[in-house]
Amino acid sequence: MNISITAERIPQHKGNLSRNTVRGIAYLTFFCSMALLSWPAAAQHKMTEAAERYQIEHANCLNGRSNEDKETCLKEANAALMQAKQGRLDDAGAQYQKNAELRCQVFESEDRQACERRMRGEGTVSGSVANGGIFRKLVIPEPEPKPLITPESGGATDKLN
């Protein structure tokens, strides 16, 4: 059995790295470190917002300014704070919008379109949850009917029978 081992010499780069290369590496290192340092700050900002929101909700519960009894209100406020700490509280309005769209699914065609317009804020809104409900009203004018031409009249009639 004959084994031969050969070694080749890899040419090495002689000289210094260019200034542009060093500058690029420095910039890249700086921006990566800044991104890593700001990540905990963003999480801390969200926790601060959640804590502030909890304080407001807690005060509303104690002052009777919520729409539920004190015990339920405090329980909900604590649950919302826990959800925020776990990163599972989404108050960006996406769920609200989804629920509004689902409410309109029971209607068909024009009624559904009118419902969706009301949910987007068109028309007038009155009432409140505390008073039993929110009433949304949108007045949509009906188009004028076209005159009907009949062979007996020889022309247009003003009204439909």
Task: Indicate whether this model's pTM tops 0.85.
Answer: no
Largest CA distance in the chain: 116
Residue 102 inside a domain? The answer is: yes
Q: How many angstroms separate the CA atoms of 77 and 68, rounded? A: 11
**29 and 67 share one domain:** yes
**87 and 100 share one domain:** no
**Which pLDDT belongs to residue 86?**
77
**Which pLDDT belongs to residue 106?**
92
Domain containing 155: what range?
92-161
Query: Which 3-state string (H, E, C) describes 108-159?
Result: CHHHHHHHHHHHCCCCEEEEECCCCEEEEECCCCCCCCCCEEECCCCEEECC
**96 and 150 share one domain:** yes
* 3-state secondary structure (DSSP) of residue 8: coil
The number of distinct structural domains making up the chain is 2
**111 and 154 share one domain:** yes
**Which pLDDT belongs to residue 31?**
66
Q: How many angstroms separate the CA atoms of 43 and 39, rounded? A: 7
**Which pLDDT belongs to residue 58?**
86
Backbone angles phi, psi at 62, to 5 degrees: -70, -30
**23 and 76 share one domain:** yes
Residue 83: partners with Cβ closer than 8 Å, 6 or more residues away: 89
Residue 122 inside a domain? The answer is: yes
pLDDT in tens, the chain (161 residues): 556 565 566 555 555 566 677 676 766 776 666 666 655 555 555 567 878 888 888 888 888 877 788 888 888 888 888 887 777 666 556 677 788 888 899 999 889 999 988 888 888 988 887 788 888 898 988 888 887 776 665 555 555 54
**29 and 85 share one domain:** yes
**Which pLDDT belongs to residue 87?**
73
**82 and 60 share one domain:** yes
Among the listed residues 84, 91, 6, the one whose alpha carbon sits nearest the alpha carbon of residue 51 = 84
**Which pLDDT belongs to residue 149?**
75
- State which of 91, 126, 148 marks the end of a domain: 91
Q: Radius of gyration (Cα) for the chain, nearest Å?
A: 34
- State which of 91, 110, 143 marks the end of a domain: 91
**129 and 161 share one domain:** yes
